[in-house]
């Protein structure tokens, strides 16, 4: 069960790291991302916050997988 949980966490982290930056590049090219003066709009800011949260979660997923993988046997109650 521990190996399965570690795998799920790592796959989730990889998904976030691969998918969300690509999404942000698409959002950055969207005309709604900048106003007439070339400044970033709330549309971009909201999506940037979503991407940052997803990447922080990815880091936490990896941390969780490492902690689960290095925990002494019998200390993790699933």
What are 32-68's pLDDT values in tens digits? 999 999 999 999 999 999 999 999 999 999 999 999 9
What pLDDT is recorded for position 77?
Answer: 58
Which residues are CB-neighbours of 37 under 8 A, at least 6 positions away?
none
What was the pLDDT predicted at 72? Answer: 79
**Coil, strand or helix: which one is 72?**
coil
Asked whether the predicted pLDDT for residue 17 surpasses 70, the reply is: yes
Cα distance between residue 40 and residue 73, in whole Å? 50
């Amino acid at each position: 069960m521990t190996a399965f949980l570690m795998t799920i966490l790592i796959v989730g982290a990889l998904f976030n790291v691969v998918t969300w930056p690509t999404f942000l590049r698409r959002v950055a090219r969207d005309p709604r991302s900048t106003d007439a003066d070339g400044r970033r709009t709330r549309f971009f800011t909201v999506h940037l916050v979503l991407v940052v949260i997803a990447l922080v979660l990815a880091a936490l997923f990896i941390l969780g997988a490492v902690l689960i993988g290095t925990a002494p046997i019998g200390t993790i109650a699933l």
